[in-house]
Structures are given as C-alpha cells and as structure tokens.
Structure 1
C-alpha cells in the first residue's frame, strides 16, 4: 500500500500499531491476482459501499449467478446487472466517477476480498477500476452453507428515519453486518464486522454501538470515520434474504482500558426483500469471537 491517509495513521498511532500496519499494507496493491479473480467469479454476492446522489453513505448488496462479477483486466472488474429498484445506491451506480468500496465474502470458506476504486457505468452493469485490492483473514467470519434460492416478494418493505421494534430485534440478533465508510478523495471502503448475536447494541431507535475487535492493524474503517463521520450499514438476514440498510454518522470511542467501540447515529433506514436472494444455513460461529456480550445491566453502564 503506497500510503495510509491521515485518519488511519492517527488511529494506528493512538493504538500503537504503526509498524504492524506498514507490514500488512504491503499486501495492498491495485492489481487483481489470478487467485483473486478466480475467487470473485465463484461468488453469488457483492457488497458495494458508496454515497448516494444526496451524499448519504450506504452499503448495498448485489446478487447474481456466479460469474456476474469477474476481472476483465489486471486492475478492473466488471459487474453484470445492478441493484434492485428502490435501493438507495441505484442512482449512484449509474454515475461515472463514483468512488466505491466493494467486499466479496464467501461464508462457505470464511474467505473475503476487498476492492476499492472508481466506477464506470457499462451496458448491462458497471465496471470498477481498482485502486486497492486485498484479502482479509477469516477472523470473525461465520461459516454458512447455501440452501436454496428464495422466491417471491422482492422489493422495498419500509423506509424511515428510525428503527422499528422489529428492526431493532433484527439488529440485536445479527452476527454479521457490513459497513461502508469514506475519506472523500482518498476513496471509499466496504468492510465486514462479525460477532456473536448481541454484539451490536441498540441504545435507542436511532443509536447503535458495537465493539471494535482487534483486527489487521490497518484501521481503514476507523481512519475513514475520523476523516468523515458518514457511514452506511447493511444487515443481511441470511436465512430469509431480507436486508436492513442504515445510513448515518459514526464515531469511535476509545476506553481507558484500551477497548474501542463505535457509536452510530441513524439518519435513514431502508428495509427490503432482495430478489434472487440465497437462503443460507444457520451459522457455525467463528472461534475468534470474544466471549458472549455482557448482560444488559453491564451494557448500560
């Protein structure tokens, strides 16, 4: 990686991992290796993070028959198809020059790959010219197996500016979500967060908190949040194919004990049922997860 921006560097320095980050950053390149290209072509999902036409940040899910995402050059991927009608990023993915972060995650193998760059609309989809391509370790990823395609009823179910009681329950039950962040001209990123159910705490219909577990020392997400507080969250319901998308603002809180947590304030909510969605099995939880979240009384302290 040619260099981290100031936000990531500031977090690395505060945590004391600059040397580790330099080492890990060497694996980040603008080039798509053959093994990465093969991985992409096997996946039925691609998560994309970007700002919508009004500047709100979102994370969205594209699905297709494996091969709908493929490398077409050493630094370029092509995506066939687009987002379903009503998705908040549908307009942005039709605009040349949109900065996007993507992540492809395979629950069957606990492998994931991130590719960030600049979008160009194409006939029947879009392409992304890569600026950063890298793989992450399987830490905090749940293992799942595909069951079957879910069928009918696709479309936006509900829009709002705060979580409903049902949406609050979905967030509390989640063991996985995706987060889109940006640092403006430095680029946009999409990342994964995993934990045992309850690791995301709902403090109110417009406020969430989750722990920032130890990771790869790069601090791309937290660095982006320091530079720009906008964030988009995507909570997939693996067993039904429903999606919960949140857009808002987030900030990192550093505890005296060295622990970190991210506080997210909700600005907008979209709940939908995704077309062509896969249903997945119940999870085999990652052995890397910390112990169960503390009970509610301790959480409120």
Structure 2
C-alpha cells in the first residue's frame, strides 16, 4: 500500500498543515491490506473489538463487540470472522445486516498497551460477521492506560438501551472522568475506528450537547482528523471498564488549530445511547500511560 492509496485529500491537508507529510509517508509504509501472522495471533486473544460505521440514516456510531478470546479470528490473509455480532438493539445492527458495509475496527490490549486497527468491508454470516480487509496496521502504545482483565464474565444481561438527545448529569460526569474513548469517522472510501486516551479530565463536557478534547500528538497519519476535515460525522464510545456499561454518542465534530500548534476537537451531540452491562468483562483499575500530558495541559 502506498501513501497515495492510503491517504485521501483530507488527511493530506491536515498533514501539510501540521508539517508531517514525510513522517506520515514513512509511517504509512507499515500499513498492509493483509493480516500478518503476528496480527492474527493478537486478534485471536482479544475479548473485545470496537467497530465503527454509518447507520442506514447516515449517523456514525462506534459499537462494542465482545466474546470469549477466539471470537475474533483471521480466516484467511484478507479476512476476519467475528462470532456473535451485535445485539439487535445496537445502533449499528441494521447497518451490519447489509453486504459490503465500510467499517473501521480497533482491537486493544490494555494489558500490554498494544492495538491493531483493521479497516475493510463487512457482511453478515450465519455466525456473526466477516470483514474483508483493506487496511491493517498497528499503532504505538501512547495514551493507552494499562489494565488487567479480571477472570470470568460478569453475570446478567445488558439492559435495554436508554436513548436521549442530550447527556444527563450522570452521563456528563461519566464522560468527564473518562481516561479512554473510541472515535469512529468516515470518508468517501471507507471508515476508521481509533482510540483516544489521557488522564481523567482530558475530555471536557461544557454542556449536555457538547464534548471537547485535546488532540495529542500521535502517529502523524491523521486518519481521524483527515476524515473529519471532509465529513464531520463522528461516533464516540465510552466504556465503564468496571461495570461494562457503554455510552455511545453520535453527532458531528470539527477541529480547531491554535497558533501554538495545539489542536482541540469539538463534538456536537445528536443522540446518546447508554446500555448497562453491555460488556461482560471487568478490568482492574488503570495504570495511566506515562505519555499522558498532565492535567495542567
């Protein structure tokens, strides 16, 4: 895969604005359209996978898929299978019932601070989903909080989703205390799912309809911000790592570039979906990444 096929004009515009085009070209050489053995082995050990795409109405969401390790596995050099699929009440369930749906996915291992991103096209199967890969790559461990998976799935089933057009007081507090969330974005040729992390407080909630965060320096590819430069639709996924509750948000986002080189992303909410116990897994308290900027930043 070449930089010309990897990056569209939105990513190129952001790379040029920040002055990292050459670095982005270097990093982009690690992106493949196939699944290498080390990536296949990594995916097969994961108990969760985040997936992002647009729903039939055009809203972009990020959703959580979970299962016993092995529920995600490579079934060929250019395909993975995901057993089980999404609950029928998930905002993306109708979209993923179709053929050839552009999706972005990210598999995270908090225990080792490793992650693999896999973008492609999904189709339903009798067991769940199959995804044909267009892009497969790893990212650096920056801003990933270290957590350990506690043994055994938690009892009980997910609650019925609670939907709203604004964040409740409890939801605002939950987002403001988060150290991690996942970001889904789209472009004309596909979709992407990424990770954002920092010390608690790095996400700000100035109103029931607004969220903002500093965009910390990363791999210089600017896939997410490049997508937002051409299509403002975005989906955010917040996970309560202790209880398994998820908060899914859809809306639009824009990036502000300051004279000092810092960047702030401002998200405007269209709809929120909260599901208690959406994940059966519970994790230990976090060990914050040494790369996280301090609260004073």
Please state how far the C-alpha of 1:276 moved relative to its aligned partner. Answer: 5.2
Q: Is the CA contact 1:36–1:113 (under 8 Å) kept in the aligned structure 2?
A: yes
Q: Which residue of 2 aligns with 1:131?
A: 134
Distance in 2 (CA, whole Å) between partners of 1:68 and 1:49 is 18
Deviation string 1:234-261 (CA, Å, 9 cap, x unpaired) is 0000011000000000000000111001
Please state how far the C-alpha of 1:84 moved relative to its aligned partner. Answer: 1.9
Among 94, 99, 108, the residue aligned to 1:96: 99
2:75 counterpart of 1:69: no
CA pair 208-33 structure 1, distance change in 2 beyond 3 A: same
CA pair 151-7 structure 1, distance change in 2 beyond 3 A: same
Distance in 1 (CA, whole Å) between partners of 2:279 and 2:185 is 27
Q: How many residue pairs are counted as aligned between the two chains? A: 293
Gaps (5+ residues) in structure 2?
none
The DSSP-based 3-state class of the residue aligned with 2:160 is strand
Deviation string 1:275-297 (CA, Å, 9 cap, x unpaired) is 55100010000000111145xxx
2:208 counterpart of 1:227: no
Among 231, 250, 254, the residue aligned to 2:253: 250
2:122 counterpart of 1:122: no
- TM-score normalised to the size of structure 2? 0.97
Deviation string 1:10-68 (CA, Å, 9 cap, x unpaired) is 00000000000000000001010000000000000000001111110000000001111
Deviation string 1:163-195 (CA, Å, 9 cap, x unpaired) is 0000000001100000000012x2100000000
In the TM superposition, 1:133-148 aligns within 5 A as 133-148=136-151
Q: Is the CA contact 2:245–2:279 (under 8 Å) kept in the aligned structure 1?
A: no
Among 182, 206, 209, the residue aligned to 1:206: 209
Distance in 1 (CA, whole Å) between partners of 2:138 and 2:120 is 15
Distance in 2 (CA, whole Å) between partners of 1:9 and 1:156 is 42
2:171 counterpart of 1:167: yes
Q: Which residue of 1 aligns with 2:55?
A: 52
Distance in 2 (CA, whole Å) between partners of 1:280 and 1:274 is 13
CA pair 194-275 structure 1, distance change in 2 beyond 3 A: closer
Q: Is the CA contact 2:246–2:278 (under 8 Å) kept in the aligned structure 1?
A: no
Q: Which residue of 1 aligns with 2:184?
A: 180
RMSD: 1.0
2:284 counterpart of 1:289: no
Distance in 1 (CA, whole Å) between partners of 2:279 and 2:23 is 41
Please state how far the C-alpha of 1:264 moved relative to its aligned partner. Answer: 0.2
Distance in 2 (CA, whole Å) between partners of 1:208 and 1:72 is 39
Distance in 2 (CA, whole Å) between partners of 1:249 and 1:226 is 11
Gaps (5+ residues) in structure 1?
295-301
Q: Is the CA contact 2:243–2:277 (under 8 Å) kept in the aligned structure 1?
A: no
The DSSP-based 3-state class of the residue aligned with 1:87 is coil
Please state how far the C-alpha of 1:273 moved relative to its aligned partner. Answer: 2.0
Please state how far the C-alpha of 1:124 moved relative to its aligned partner. Answer: 1.5
